[in-house]
C-alpha cells in the first residue's frame, strides 16, 4: 500500500476549509485531490477536530 503524500494535519486543514464554506470542488482542486478522497478524509478525520 502506498503511503499518503499528505500528513494528518494537512488532511484536517483541507477538511476545515471545506467546512468553513469554501466549495468542495475548489478545495479539492487547490489540494490536488479528488472529491472522493475529500469525503473519505472527512469521514475519517472530521470527528477528530470537531
Q: What is the pLDDT of residue 4?
A: 82
Q: What is the mean pLDDT of residues 15-44?
A: 94
Q: Is residue 37 part of a domain?
A: yes
Q: Is residue 42 part of a domain?
A: yes
CB 50 within 8 A of CB 39: no
Which pTM was predicted?
A: 0.81
Q: What is the pLDDT of residue 45?
A: 82
Q: Is residue 43 part of a domain?
A: yes
Q: Is residue 3 part of a domain?
A: no
What total of structural domains would you count in the chain? 1
In the predicted model, is pLDDT for residue 50 greater than 60? no
- Domain residue limits at 17: 8-49
Helix, strand, coil percentages (3-state) for the chain, rounded to 5, are: 70, 0, 30
Q: What is the pLDDT of residue 1?
A: 72
More confident residue, 19 or 46: 19
Q: Which residues contact 14 (CB under 8 A, 6 or more apart)?
A: 6, 27, 31, 33, 38, 41
Q: Single out the residue of 23, 15, 6 nearest to residue 50, CA to CA.
A: 15
Q: Is residue 29 part of a domain?
A: yes
Amino acid at each position: 500500500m502506498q503511503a499518503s503524500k499528505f500528513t494528518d494535519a494537512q488532511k484536517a486543514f483541507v477538511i476545515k476549509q471545506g467546512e468553513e464554506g469554501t466549495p468542495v470542488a475548489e478545495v479539492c482542486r487547490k489540494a490536488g485531490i479528488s472529491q472522493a478522497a475529500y469525503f473519505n478524509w472527512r469521514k475519517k478525520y472530521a470527528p477528530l477536530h470537531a
